[in-house]
Amino acid sequence: MTSMASRRAAELRSAELKKDLGRHNELYYLGKPEISDREFDRLMHELQALELEYPELATIDSPTRRVGGAPSEGFEQVAHDPPMLSLDNTYNLEEVEDWVDRLERLAADEELSYVTELKLDGVSISLLYKGGVLQQAITRGNGTVGDDVTENVRTIRGLPLRLKGAPPERLMLRGEIYMPRTVFDELNRQREAAGMALYVNPRNTTAGTVRLLDSREVARRGLEVAVYQSATAFGPATHADTLGALQDHGLPVKSVWQRCADVAAVEAYIEHWREHRHELPFDTDGVVIKVDRLDLHTRLGRTSKAPRWAVAYKFEAEQAQTVVRAISVQVGRTGVLTPVAELEPIFVGGTTVQRATLHNYEDLARKDIREGDTVLVEKGGDIIPKVVSVLLDHRAADSQPFEIPSTCPVCGDPVVRYEGEVAWRCVNPACPAIVRESVGHFVSRNAMDIEGLGDKLIEQLLAKDLIKDYTSLYQLKEEDLAGLEGWGKKSAVNLIAEIGKSKHRTLAHVLHAIGIRFVGERVARLLAEHFGSLESLMKADNATLEDIPEIGPKVAASLRQFFDDKRHQQRLEALRDAGVNLTQPRAEAASVEHPLHGKKVVLTGTLTGMTRSEAKKRLEALGARVSGSVSSNTDLVVAGEKAGSKLKKAEDLGVEVTDEAGLVALLG
């Protein structure tokens, strides 16, 4: 009896805490907190304790879900329904007026009004609520398929896990995840204090954060989200009323949107934010203009990639004048030498710019940028600084062109340029710069996926001479790590375990990780599945390699050059000695008798019995080549539900089309 009473008391207290925490969370983001952070944490800890004792109380809308959970193994890919379209861009007011003129012709008998919104510079996200509870969050991906990042998005405190009022049973929303400038600046201050490389900009940092496998780290990053569209019709007749209704349900909608009666009001909105955008606490790269009436959205329709009822106006990149103090040279993972302009600090595009990449020596020579030059600097897309041009009137009389170094600025070895390439590169695998970058690539998620080995630790290990290259990682011991600054026994044990786990990755992972030129994830998988072992691959000559579909002379030559180098041979032998798996199950040979063998197939629309990825694998197993675009060389188009422009193009070109049932029959 007492147990039942305790259970009932816990249930009541849990419900009360969830309600209070939800309310205080909302007040915090409205800038009207009623309790201290310490008191908020105390309430959260009380709820966590109740859920630990009574696990059934830990519902998916519990505020405790915001603190993140154990690291995940990866992200499942999910199809968007409907697809997440991109927007057509305009770059000046004349193009905006042209867009309005086209709309007025398409809807000649209607009076048009618009809604203008700031275009946040972050990561697009699709949010699904069922019964008012957040069920799923999917990245934009390619617009058709994205990654399921629900656990990470649940940690964003400004996003309600349960909606207010009486929302529709199913509500599909579009939004943008972003990182406020103050949060980004503080994150970089912490990294600088820890001796870590600084993040480049909030957008890239947001994109990386959303895809972290550890949602607990995501929870610490201070991301925010703004909802800007409903993909579900649920009552309102206009987009403006929809935004208001979404706000009433507790969803974060940026208050800077505006209803505009005509194009003059649209242009006034653009002009205002062009001038004042840097006063905002977040980054914006333009304005989105939408037709207000939702019934006209259906009537105006869409092109193959974008709706006709909306368009983006992109702010022009800001420019400023400064001086090139020096031209330095960076050495990347593949040995490519990249010239970088070291600039007199200049404020442009809302930030202070001190460096700008010059891309390559051909671009440097074409622009004839020299040390001491006065240059015009632009933030391309308001993100990446670049030198636009040299102001020759300011050039000193004794100025000299920048000379391409004949040796690597890091290791001193001669640099080379391969035929047909513009890049100069260091080809010394032992070059410290190449080693540092190659170790970072080796441990990355799509390579050997060694969690916990970040840039700072790699720098420490190299500086302390604990590793010489990526093969040395497998010789590390717990005591090596425990003695490093900021490392204790537990973290050392965890990392050694992660390194041990990586020994069981496939040969495809290893081939991608070791950094062979022109060998990315797909080529690595093709090679691994074809040869089955590293030993067999290393014995293959150019002709044998070129017989493999998608392996041309350039890739074959790069493979042979890599495997013939004694230094690379020694590293691969070290991986073998460390117990790293260097084999992979061979792909079953496709029967040349099968009607799909050698055929070019395009998949479009949504498949119900299998994912597009599964269909692609099965087609490739039968010898088909799966392409992403339809052309006169396409042999077959498989059209699933809601097939779009690819189906129409196939019909126009007279390409054979089948449906999912036909595909299943062909696959047998």
Q: Catalytic residues, which ones?
A: 119
Is the CB of residue 597 less than 8 Å from the CB of residue 619? no
Using alpha carbons, list the distances in angstroms from residue 354 to 349, 379, 383, 384, 582.
13, 12, 13, 12, 44
Using alpha carbons, list the distances in angstroms from residue 528 to 262, 505, 625.
60, 12, 18
> What's the DSSP call for residue 377?
E
Whole-angstrom distance, CA of residue 173 vs CA of residue 405: 53
Give residue 66's identity as a one-letter amino acid code: R
Its sign, for the CA torsion 601, 607, 609, 613, is positive
Its sign, for the CA torsion 299, 302, 306, 311, is negative
Q: What are phi and psi of 571, to 5 degrees?
A: -65, -40
Helix (H) or strand (E) holding 384: strand 384-390
Whole-angstrom distance, CA of residue 544 vs CA of residue 43: 66
- Which residues, listed in sequence order, are joined to residue 312 by a DSSP beta bridge? 89, 288
> What's the DSSP call for residue 562?
H
Measured at the CA of 512, the angle between CA 509 and CA 518, to 5 degrees, comes to: 155
SS3 545: helix
Is the CB of residue 629 less than 8 Å from the CB of residue 601? no
Instruction: Compute the residue count for the chain.
Output: 668
- Which residues, listed in sequence order, are joined to residue 322 by a DSSP beta bridge? 375
SS3 602: strand
Range 59-62, long-range pairs (CB < 8 A, 24+ positions): 60/133, 60/134, 60/135, 60/161, 61/18, 61/133, 61/134, 61/161, 61/162, 62/18, 62/161
Whole-angstrom distance, CA of residue 382 vs CA of residue 350: 8
Half-sphere exposure of 63 (CA within 13 A, CB side): 26
Using alpha carbons, list the distances in angstroms from residue 615 to 609, 620, 663, 666, 667.
9, 9, 9, 11, 9
Q: Give the CA dihedral 527, 533, 538, 539, nearest 10 degrees.
A: -110
455, burial (CB in 10 Å: exposed 0-12, middle 13-18, buried 19+): middle
Is the CB of residue 390 less than 8 Å from the CB of residue 368? yes
Is the CB of residue 454 less than 8 Å from the CB of residue 516? no
Using alpha carbons, list the distances in angstroms from residue 121 to 202, 288, 432.
8, 12, 36
**526 CB neighbour count, 10 Å cutoff:** 20
Cα Rg of the chain (Å, integer): 28
- Which residues, listed in sequence order, are joined to residue 146 by a DSSP beta bridge? 78
Whole-angstrom distance, CA of residue 580 vs CA of residue 573: 10
Tokens of 525: 């998988």
Whole-angstrom distance, CA of residue 136 vs CA of residue 172: 10
